[in-house]
């Protein structure tokens, strides 16, 4: 027996991650239809979008700015339409790397030290030595991220990153194991380890087939895995909570460093959240249904039972 409702899937949108969002949206639409839901597809633009009047729930597959930064969530709150994922405030906190860093520090979540720079302030960092990482404060999918080995690369790399955002985050480069942990309500999914075959986990390695190896479940001893799971849950709590998400971390020895929270993670059948869910025994359709159920529970939406 399935539990169904009328669902509008929002995908595409205006961000730099539009194409990835469309791929996520198509995968979600296929799954929802197979589950028996009535589905509407919406490719929104700021100031020029609307929902079918029959919509009971919005499934957000909008990656990047406007979709993940709390803006669309705030608009849906005004419309009093329930939606999947985190609320407006938690989404904004997670998407803005500066806000999330401050939240991590305030809540004792392990994370790397950092400096901030305005896009027009290209002074060398004062407290962080090379090698280091610079990234736009509000972009996803590793857009605008640069890894610098020495000061000779600074000016050119900073200019490239500054083209994306008005505020720049600077962190030390930490060589370690890159992992990601999916959260479904209070359930922590098996850890995925990310191993690019060349370079680091940039946009190319994320979305080019075969460029990265993924190991799930990742191999950690039991006590370290418990620390990872606790850190992932604490990270979600630090940003203000949410029905589901994905926490990215680095592990060096036994030290954890939380990188960021993805409040609308990729939702293709080969994306990292579905990979973790599959290791927990959930098919892609079951994962999508679980996300719907979490959203309905959070917003008190009643599902219709069908045989």
Output the CA angle 125-147-138, nearest 5 degrees.
Answer: 80
Of 171, 178, 202, 260, the catalytic one is 260
Q: In 10 A of CB 249, how many CB atoms?
A: 23
**Quick one: CATH architecture of 115-172?**
2-Layer Sandwich (3.30)
2 annotated active-site: no
91 annotated active-site: no
Class of CATH domain 2-85+284-306: alpha beta
- Mean confidence (pLDDT) of the chain: 91
Task: Give the residue-averaged pLDDT of 155-171.
Answer: 91
Of 200, 201, 207, 214, the catalytic one is 207
Sorting pLDDT into bands at 50, 70 and 90, what band is 187? Answer: very high
260 annotated active-site: yes
- The domain made up of 93-110+175-279 has a fold known as D-amino Acid Aminotransferase; Chain A, domain 1 (3.30.470)
Q: Treating both helix axes as pointing N-terminal to C-terminal, what angle do 97-106 and 222-238 enclose, rounded to 10 degrees? A: 120
Whether 307 shows a pLDDT value over 50: the answer reads no
121 annotated active-site: no
Task: Find out whether 271 and 265 touch, Cβ atoms under 8 Å.
Answer: yes
19 annotated active-site: no
| CA distance linking residue 185 with residue 277, whole number of Å | 13
Of 92, 117, 246, 278, the catalytic one is 246
For residue range 106-162, list pLDDT tens digits in order. Answer: 999 999 999 999 999 999 999 999 999 999 887 665 778 899 999 999 999 999 999
Which phi and psi (to 5°) does residue 91 adopt? -65, -45
**Taking the model in full, what pTM does it have?**
0.90
For residue range 46-59, list pLDDT tens digits in order. Answer: 888 999 999 999 99
Sorting pLDDT into bands at 50, 70 and 90, what band is 207? Answer: low
Cα distance between the two ends of the chain: 5
Sorting pLDDT into bands at 50, 70 and 90, what band is 199? Answer: low
Task: Give the residue-averaged pLDDT of 245-269.
Answer: 94
User: How distant, in Å, are the alpha carbons of 16, 95, 117, 130, 144 from that of 159?
Assistant: 18, 22, 12, 17, 10
Of 248, 257, 271, 278, the catalytic one is 248
What does the domain layout of the chain look like in residue ranges? 2-85+284-306, 93-110+175-279, 115-172
Q: In 10 A of CB 151, how many CB atoms?
A: 12
């Amino acid at each position: 027996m399935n539990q169904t409702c009328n669902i509008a899937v929002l995908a595409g949108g205006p961000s730099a991650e539009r194409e990835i969002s469309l791929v996520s949206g198509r995968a979600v639409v296929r799954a929802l239809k197979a589950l028996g839901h009535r589905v509407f597809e919406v490719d929104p633009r700021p100031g020029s979008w609307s929902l079918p009047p029959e919509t009971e729930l919005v499934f957000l597959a909008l990656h990047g700015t406007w979709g993940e930064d709390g803006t669309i969530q705030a608009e849906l709150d005004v419309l009093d339409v329930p939606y999947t994922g985190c609320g407006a405030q938690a989404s904004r906190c997670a998407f803005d790397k500066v806000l999330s860093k401050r939240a991590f520090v305030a809540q004792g979540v392990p994370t790397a030290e950092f400096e901030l720079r305005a896009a027009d302030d290209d002074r060398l960092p004062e407290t962080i030595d090379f090698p280091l990482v610079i990234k736009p404060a509000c972009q996803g999918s590793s857009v605008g991220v640069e890894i610098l080995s020495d000061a000779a690369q600074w000016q050119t790399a900073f200019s490239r990153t500054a083209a994306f955002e008005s505020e720049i985050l600077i962190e030390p480069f930490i060589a370690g194991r890159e992992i990601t942990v999916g959260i479904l309500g209070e359930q922590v999914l098996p850890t995925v380890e990310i191993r690019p075959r060349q370079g680091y986990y940039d946009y190319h390695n994320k979305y080019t087939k075969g460029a990265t190896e993924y190991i799930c479940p990742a191999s950690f001893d039991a006590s370290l895995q418990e620390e990872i799971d606790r850190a992932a849950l604490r990270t979600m709590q630090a940003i203000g909570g949410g029905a589901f998400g994905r926490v990215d971390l680095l592990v060096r020895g036994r030290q954890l460093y939380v990188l960021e929270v993805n409040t609308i993670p990729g939702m293709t059948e080969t994306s990292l959240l579905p990979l973790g869910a599959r290791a927990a025994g959930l098919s892609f359709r079951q994962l999508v249904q679980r996300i719907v159920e979490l959203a309905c529970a959070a917003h008190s939406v009643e599902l219709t039972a069908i045989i």
